[in-house]
């Protein structure tokens, strides 16, 4: 059993391309940088968090696939990253088969929770795939917190009702202690009036659930991932990096108040 209380945080939104991976990678890095022991768990078969970190994709068992299916101890597959105190469990394309393989297992919703229960970290951040499959149900069951990145675009709110109803049914059935840490506005474009409209709309709907920190659209963020680095390491002065560091501060403050 671990000594510290590990906070498991799923970065989730069933919509694709809203900034989940970018948020997972940068928040994990920024929080490790303030001295916390952090694990970044990539459970998306696309493996964008793995490559975004410049890490090699895992081999079938030696990856989140093996962990999710309970075939290997996460301690055996986690890799130390180039950031002090930041560890990573990589993904593999084999994970795409896990949805089907989980389906026939009787504890199919709690495999991940059981697999990581003995780990000793301050924070485990889970980079979730888009969609609502068993992989994501496992993430919601294993987590105590959720962060929902929301892209500042016209259809931002669409699908959010479905996400909240999924969260509610997870709470009612398998994980009563699941809390939404916050909704994060991403890819905010200062030159586009639609960004302001969407941000205001989201704040009117969700009030203090929305993080004060807003992530701007910033080309350094996409450049950074193509260099296999989080933007907070690639260009710490860029607006993207500054806002992710601010998010880390706000997230930690929220953690202390709950």
Ligand X SMILES: Nc1ncnc2c1ncn2[C@@H]1O[C@H](COP(=O)(O)OP(=O)(O)OP(=O)(O)O)[C@@H](O)[C@H]1O
Question: Applying CB under 5 A, which residues contact Mg ion?
Answer: 20-21, 48
Closest CB 113 distance from Mg ion, rounded Å: 21
* Residue 218 binding target from ligand X, Mg ion, none, CB below 5 to 8 Å by type: ligand X
Q: Segment 218-247, which members bind ligand X (CB under 6 A)? A: 218, 221-222, 225, 240
Q: Segment 185-204, which members bind ligand X (CB under 6 A)? A: 186-187
Q: Segment 70-129, which members bind ligand X (CB under 6 A)? A: none
Extract the tokens encoding 197.
Answer: 């409209």
Enumerate the β-bridge partners of residue 150: 185
* Burial letters 82-105, b for 16+ CB under 10 A, else e: ebebbbbbbbbebbbebbebbeee
* Residue 217 binding target from Mg ion, ligand X, none, CB below 5 to 8 Å by type: ligand X
29 scored as a contact of ligand X (CB under 6 A): no
Closest CB 104 distance from ligand X, rounded Å: 26
Closest CB 35 distance from ligand X, rounded Å: 25
Q: Segment 128-147, which members bind ligand X (CB under 6 A)? A: 130
Q: Give the integer Cα–Cα distance in Å for 160 and 235.
A: 32
Stretch of 19-27, 85-93, 153-161, 168-176 contacting ligand X, by CB under 6 A: 19-27
Nearer to ligand X, 21 or 110 (CB): 21
Task: Name which position in 26, 29, 48, 64 contacts ligand X (CB under 6 A).
Answer: 48
Q: Give the integer Cα–Cα distance in Å for 27 and 24.
A: 5
Q: Give the integer Cα–Cα distance in Å for 58 and 61.
A: 8
Nearer to Mg ion, 24 or 112 (CB): 24
* Residue 186 binding target from Mg ion, ligand X, none, CB below 5 to 8 Å by type: ligand X
For every residue of 66-121, DSSP letters joined together read HHHTTSS-HHHH-EE-SSTTEEEE---GGGGGHHHHHHTSTTTTTHHHHHHTT---
Q: Give the integer Cα–Cα distance in Å for 6 and 120.
A: 6
217 within 8 A of 187, measured Cβ to Cβ: yes
Contacts with ligand X, residue ranges (CB under 6 A): 16-22, 44, 46, 48, 130, 186-187, 215, 217-218, 221-222, 225, 240
């Amino acid at each position: 059993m671990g000594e510290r209380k590990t906070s498991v945080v799923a970065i989730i939104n069933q919509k694709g391309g809203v900034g989940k991976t970018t948020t997972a990678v940068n928040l994990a890095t920024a929080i490790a940088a303030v001295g916390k022991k952090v694990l970044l768990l990539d459970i998306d078969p696309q493996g964008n968090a793995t490559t975004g970190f410049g890490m090699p994709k895992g081999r079938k068992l030696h990856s989140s696939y093996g962990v999710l299916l309970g075939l290997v101890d996460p301690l055996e597959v986690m890799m130390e990253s180039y950031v002090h105190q930041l560890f990573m469990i990589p993904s593999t394309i084999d994970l795409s088969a896990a949805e089907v393989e989980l389906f026939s297992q009787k504890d199919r919703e709690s495999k991940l929770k059981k697999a990581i229960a003995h780990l000793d970290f301050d924070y485990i951040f889970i980079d979730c795939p888009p969609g609502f499959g068993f992989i994501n149900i496992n993430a919601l069951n294993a987590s105590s917190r959720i962060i929902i990145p929301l892209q500042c675009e016209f259809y931002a709110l669409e699908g959010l009702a479905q996400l909240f109803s999924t969260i509610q049914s997870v709470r009612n059935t398998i994980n009563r202690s699941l809390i939404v840490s916050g909704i994060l506005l991403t890819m905010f474009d200062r030159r586009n009036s639609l960004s302001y409209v969407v941000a205001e709309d989201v704040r009117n709907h969700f009030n203090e659930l929305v993080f004060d920190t807003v992530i701007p659209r910033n080309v350094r963020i996409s450049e950074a991932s193509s260099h296999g680095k989080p933007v907070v390491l690639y260009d710490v002065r860029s607006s993207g990096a500054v806002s992710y560091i601010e998010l880390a501060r706000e997230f930690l403050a929220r953690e202390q108040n709950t």
